[in-house]
A and B are shown apart, each in its own frame.
Chain A
Amino acid sequence: MAKTKVLERKPLSFAEKTFLPQIVTGLKTTFSSMLQKGVTLQYPEERPTIPDNYRGVPTLVKDPNGREKCVSCQLCEFVCPPKAIRITPGAIDAEAEPERAHVEKAPQEFDINMLRCIYCGLCQEVCPEEAIFLQDIFSLSGYSREEMINNKQKLYELGGTLPDKHFKWDKKKAAEATGNAH
C-alpha cells in the first residue's frame, strides 16, 4: 500500500497575502514574453517545412529519361480503400517509343478523385513500378467537384520526375547489347 505523503503547507506571509509581489512577478513574466519573438507562421507567404515521407496529394512521376513509369497494372485502383483512383489502360504510342510499345502498357486515363482520397498512401505502397507517390502538397482547393478530380496530365504536372535508381529500360538495353537478354 502506497504511503500518502502529506505536504506541509506554510502559512502565507503578509506580503504573500496581499498578492502584490506575486502580481509584480506575473507582470514581469508577461512582459518578458511580450519581448520574445512570435511563433506565428505567416501562412500563405511562409510555408512550413514538410518532412520527408509526408503523405500529401498522390501524384504520378516519370523516370529520369522522361518515360511514363506507370504500366497501368491497376493495382492501386484495386487497393484504394475509398475507390478514388480510376484507370483506363491503354497502349504505348508505337511511334514515340518503339522499343517499349507492345512490351508494356500505359494508362490512357488516370483519374484520382481528391474528394474521395484519404491520403492513406496504399497506392504508393502497392505500386510495383514506383510510379505513384504521395508528395508534399498539403493544401488543395477548387470551385467545383470536377475540378477536384486530378486527371493524368495534372497528375504528371504535380509529380514531375523523381530520381530513380532502377533505370529499368537502360538496364534492359545494356543487357541486350551484351547478349544477355532474358
Chain B
Amino acid sequence: MEFLDASLPYIMPIVYAILMISVFMGLCSYSVLAERKVSSWIQGRVGPNRTRLPLIGHLPIVGNLMTGLGLFQPVADGLKFLFKEEIVPGHVNKGYYYLAPVVALAPALTTMVVLPFGRYVDAEGIIQPLVLANVDLGMLIILGISSLGVYGVVLAGWSSNSKYPFLGGVRASAQMISYELAMGLALLPVFMWSASPGYYNEAGIFVEGSRYGMSLFGVVQSQQAAWTILWQPLSALLFLVALFAETNRLPFDMAESETDLVGGFHTEYGCFKFGLFFVAEYAHIIMGSGIFVLLFLGGWNFLPWMADPWGTGILGSVLSVAWFMAKVFFMIFFFIWMRWTLPRFRYDQVMSLGWKVLLPLAVANLVFNTIIIALYDTLTR
C-alpha cells in the first residue's frame, strides 16, 4: 500500500498520457470517417453505411442507426490496413522508407502534450487547465514540433526513389517553410494582447507581470469576455490560411495533389505505412483545429460576453471539455467543408500567396497591434 502511494505520482501521468493518446487516436480515425461522410453528403452521395459489427450492430434501432452513419467503418479501415499484403517496391531506400511514416506521425502526436482541453477548479478555488504538461510557451513547443512533421513527408518523398513522391516532398517542404513564417507572425498579436504587462489582483492592486505568462491557458482565460476572432479578425484569418497550408489540406494540398502527382509523397506506400501517414494528416488537422479554437474561438469559454455556466465540480470540468470538443469538431467539419468548396491552387500561386500576401499582411498586423498596445499602455497607466 505504501509502495502504491509512493509510486502513484509516477503512474498517474502515464495513465493520463495513455488515456489521451487513446482518445486522440480515436478522434483521428473518426475524423477520417467524418471526412468520408461529409464529403459524400456534400456530393449528394451516402458514404460508408454498410459495415456492421456483430452484437452492437444488431441492436434494434441503435444498430441500424450506427451502421447507417458508418460508425463501425473506422474499425474495418484499420483492420484492412493492418492485414493487407505489405508491398515494398524494390527501388526504395529501405531504412528511410520505413522511418518516414514514424517521423510523420510522432510529431503530430507529441504536440498534444501541451494542448489544454478543459479546466477544473482546484481545492483553493483557482481555475486550472486540464492538460498533460502545463508549460509556459506551450505554443512554441507546438509550432516547433508540429513543423517537424514535414521531415516525414520529405523523407518519404526522397526515399521512395521515384519522381512523383520526390516532387511531392519538395513541394511540401517549400510550402511549410513559406507558411510557417506567416503563421508565427499571425500568432504574436494574440499573445501580446493576452499576456498583458500587469493586472489588477483580487484586492484591486496592480501587479507587474502577466498572470498566466504566455501559456495557452492564459490565452483562453483572457478570452472570457470576447473571443479573439471578434477583435483580431485579421490575425485569425492569416492563421487559418496558414493552418490550411501547414496541414496540407485543400486548397493547399500541394504535397499530394492527385491530379498532377499521382498520390504525392505517399505514392509508393501501402497498407499500414500509408495508414500512418493518413493518421498523421488527421492528427495535424485535429491539433490545428484545437489550437485555432484555443487561440481564437475562446477555448472552453461558453459564448462571447456570457459568463461560463460550467460549475466548479467534476461536472463543470466535463462540460468545459465537451464544449471545447464541440468547437474542435466544428473546426474539423470546417476543414472538410472547405475542401469541397475551393479548387486547388497552382503551385506558384501558393508560393506568391504565402510570400507576397500573407507574410507582409502578418508583419503589418504585428506592427499595427504593437503600436496600439504601446499607445494603450501609455495612455491607461
Name A residues whose Cβ lies closer than 8 Å to a Cβ of B. Answer: 20, 23, 26-27, 29-31, 33-34, 36-40, 42
**Complex contacts, B337 vs chain A, CB 8 Å:** 27, 30-31
**Complex contacts, B40 vs chain A, CB 8 Å:** 38
Interface of A, secondary structure class, is helix
**Complex contacts, A38 vs chain B, CB 8 Å:** 40-41, 44-46
Q: A34-B38, A34-B42 are in contact. List 20 more A-B contacts (CB 8 A).
A: A20-B237, A23-B341, A26-B341, A26-B342, A27-B337, A27-B338, A27-B341, A29-B341, A30-B337, A30-B341, A31-B337, A33-B42, A33-B44, A34-B41, A36-B44, A38-B41, A38-B44, A39-B44, A39-B45, A42-B46
**Complex contacts, A37 vs chain B, CB 8 Å:** 44
User: Judging by beta carbons under 8 Å apart, are B342 and A40 in contact?
Assistant: no
**Complex contacts, B237 vs chain A, CB 8 Å:** 20
**Complex contacts, B342 vs chain A, CB 8 Å:** 23, 26
**Complex contacts, B46 vs chain A, CB 8 Å:** 38, 40, 42
Q: Is B330 an interface residue (CB 8 A)?
A: no
- The 5 residue pairs across chains A and B that have the minimum distance between CB atoms: A26-B341, A40-B46, A34-B41, A30-B341, A39-B44
Q: Is B16 an interface residue (CB 8 A)?
A: no
**Complex contacts, A26 vs chain B, CB 8 Å:** 341-342
**Complex contacts, A34 vs chain B, CB 8 Å:** 38, 41-42
Chain B: minimal CB distance from A92 (Å): 51
Contact with A along B37-81 (1 / 0, CB 8 A): 010111111100000000000000000000000000000000000
Q: Is B340 an interface residue (CB 8 A)?
A: yes
A selection of 17 A-B contacts at a CB cut-off of 8 Å is: A23-B341, A26-B341, A27-B337, A27-B341, A30-B340, A30-B341, A33-B42, A33-B44, A34-B38, A34-B42, A37-B44, A38-B40, A38-B41, A38-B45, A39-B44, A40-B44, A40-B45
A7 to B340, CA, bound (A): 31
A102 to B45, CA, bound (A): 60
Chain B: minimal CB distance from A39 (Å): 5
A145 to B219, CA, bound (A): 71
> Which residue of chain A has its CB nearest to the CB of B338?
A27
A36 to B337, CA, bound (A): 15
**Complex contacts, A20 vs chain B, CB 8 Å:** 237
> Which residue of chain B has its CB nearest to the CB of A39?
B44
A107 to B337, CA, bound (A): 63
Chain B: minimal CB distance from A32 (Å): 10
